[in-house]
């Protein structure tokens, strides 16, 4: 089993005729993702990789019964794209676009929740349920079907951890890149709950980084609600206070958000924290 996406996912690609949208559409389709349509205003009737293009998300949903959308439009248009998908009845919206203004995300996120939908991203690599469906830009060749759930704020660290999991024989049920911006959609607590309730996920790898208090809140949630083994890695352990490191959300301020504080929070609730990403598979195996 998996969470959020599987073989029954009916995906539309917003921005399918653009450079990135077209490139990753071909990759997702080759993996077996059920892409039923794409959107690009003014280009209805065209085909991309054998996939029909529609002017609007509403047209695409009415014609194809799509339930999931992935967004590859430029940052100035991402807010409208997210809200358009929610308004059309799409229930899972994955925004890959980076550089989306924070206030745009706040507005779009509120609207998406009002419509009863879920958002992943923006500024994220997407998600994958190995051998079932891939939505986004993840390198599918490193993934292997299995029972370890992966949640990560960092795209490249997701790939490194998954490569090590696969190399050590630990396949993945679903891997989710939540994004590194200050405001994003589904985050640690919601995804931890989904993995806890998934009967075919037996362990969870959590990848965090400096900035904010999401990891500390995740640790408290694990203490109260998660019975499955969890292992973590925190990026930015050598980052100097006050410096933004990579992601817009990865900034330490007012004496909070440091790697040391996050590591301490996890260790206090019995979650082992790897010093290097390559240690996560062994930390999980020791607890299975």
Residue 74 neighbours by CB under 8 Å, 6+ apart = 97
**From the CB of residue 243, how many other CB atoms can be counted at a distance below 10 Å?**
11
247 has catalytic annotation: yes
Query: 52, 247, 273, 277: which one is catalytic?
Result: 247
Residue 195 neighbours by CB under 8 Å, 6+ apart = 3, 149, 151, 173, 174, 201, 204, 228
Nearest to 256 by CA among 270, 242, 246: 242
Ramachandran sector of residue 257 (left: φ over 0; alpha: ψ -120 to 50; beta: rest):
left
Q: Locate 272 and state its tokens.
A: 């082992």
3-state secondary structure of 175: strand
Nearest to 126 by CA among 44, 33, 45: 33
Which residue's structure tokens are 């911006």?
181
Question: Phi first, then psi: what are they for 75, rounded to 5°?
Answer: -55, -40
- Please list the active-site residues: 247
């Amino acid at each position: 089993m998996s969470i959020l996406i599987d073989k029954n996912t009916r995906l539309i690609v917003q921005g399918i005729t653009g450079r990135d949208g077209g490139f990753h559409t071909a990759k997702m389709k080759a993996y077996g993702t059920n892409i039923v349509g794409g959107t690009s205003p003014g280009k209805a009737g065209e085909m991309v990789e054998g996939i029909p293009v529609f002017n609007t998300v509403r047209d695409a949903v009415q014609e194809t019964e799509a339930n999931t959308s992935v967004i590859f439009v430029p940052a100035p248009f991402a807010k409208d794209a997210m809200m358009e998908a929610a308004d059309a009845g799409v229930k899972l919206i994955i925004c890959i676009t980076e550089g989306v203004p924070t206030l745009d995300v706040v507005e779009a996120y509120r609207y998406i929740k009002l419509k009863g939908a879920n958002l992943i991203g923006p500024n994220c690599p997407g998600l994958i349920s190995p051998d079932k469906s891939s939505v986004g830009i993840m390198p599918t060749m490193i993934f292997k079907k299995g029972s370890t759930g992966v949640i990560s704020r960092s795209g490249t660290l997701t790939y490194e951890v998954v490569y090590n999991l696969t190399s050590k024989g630990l396949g993945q049920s679903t891997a989710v890149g939540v994004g590194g911006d200050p405001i994003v959609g589904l985050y640690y607590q919601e995804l931890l709950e989904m993995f806890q309730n998934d009967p075919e996920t037996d362990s969870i790898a959590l990848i965090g980084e400096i900035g904010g208090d999401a990891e500390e809140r995740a640790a408290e949630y694990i203490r109260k609600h998660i019975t499955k083994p969890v292992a973590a890695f925190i990026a930015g352990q050598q980052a100097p206070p006050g410096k933004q490191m990579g992601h817009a959300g990865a900034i330490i301020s007012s004496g909070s958000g440091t790697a040391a504080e996050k590591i301490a929070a996890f260790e206090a609730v019995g979650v082992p924290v790897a010093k290097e990403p390559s240690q996560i598979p062994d930390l999980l195996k020791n607890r299975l």
